[in-house]
Amino acid sequence: MSTWKTILLQDSASPLMEQLMFFHDHTMLILIIITILVSQMLMSMFFNKFIHRFLLSGQLIEMIWTILPAITLILIAMPSLRLLYILDEINNPIISIKAIGHQWYWSYEYSDYKSLKFDSFMIPSYELNKFNFRLLDVDNRLIIPFMTQIRLIVTSADVIHSWTIPSLGIKIDGTPGRLNQSSFSINRTGLFYGQCSEICGANHSFMPIVLESISPNFFLKWIYSMNN
């Protein structure tokens, strides 16, 4: 989760987030090089006294500063397009989960397991334990097995919501009357926190998301206990 000392992105917990972080670093490196180069040229122009009274046009320099930015944009666009296709790809999901946004809580449905469904409300401050996080913990977590391909279907029962967990690189809008879907897998166990990322009303800040990643064996035991 994000803490007070987190300056950049959260630590990745999925292959998709790792790719997003690689692309972020790739783009930032190019931007830093451009910024340093332009700054150096501006400083040189401000502080030197060289003039060229007869300079009317420079075909060579204009070709250079047209071709170089085009190459730079290609170097950014190609990994970006590749990543977009990877994010949209859904290959043989093992589990399908439906997340429904409400004002102001989430409900989840495991349609593969006897229509298991439950609501997930934020824990009020007066009910928090010492190990809970204020405004982030919920009474019923979304439980999934790690190293498993998950298909997440998101919709809304009233207004537009957005199901988001930054460490997984997932942000899906929940739109009334529409089903949006994505696919992801988690490469480690743990608790992962998120919040609704679409301003959906007065209690928008009070509908957090908590995802718990556990081993497949414990997941099957949890499914059995919830269905009996």
Query: Quick check: is 1 in a domain?
Result: no
pLDDT of residue 207: 92
Residues 99 and 207 reside in one and the same domain:
yes
Of 69, 88, 107, the one marking the end of a domain is 88
pLDDT digits (tens, 9 = 90+) for 56-75: 677 888 888 889 999 999 99
pLDDT digits (tens, 9 = 90+) for 145-202: 988 889 999 999 989 999 999 888 889 999 999 999 988 889 889 899 999 999 988 9
Residues 182 and 81 reside in one and the same domain:
no
Residues 69 and 154 reside in one and the same domain:
no
**Alpha carbon of residue 81 to chain centroid:** 17
pLDDT digits (tens, 9 = 90+) for 9-23: 888 888 888 888 999
Cis peptide before 106 (omega within 30 of 0): no
Residues 132 and 22 reside in one and the same domain:
no
Helices 59-88 and 15-47, interaxial angle, to 10°?
160
Count structural domains, the chain. Answer: 2
Domain range for residue 31?
A: 15-88
Query: Quick check: is 6 in a domain?
Result: no
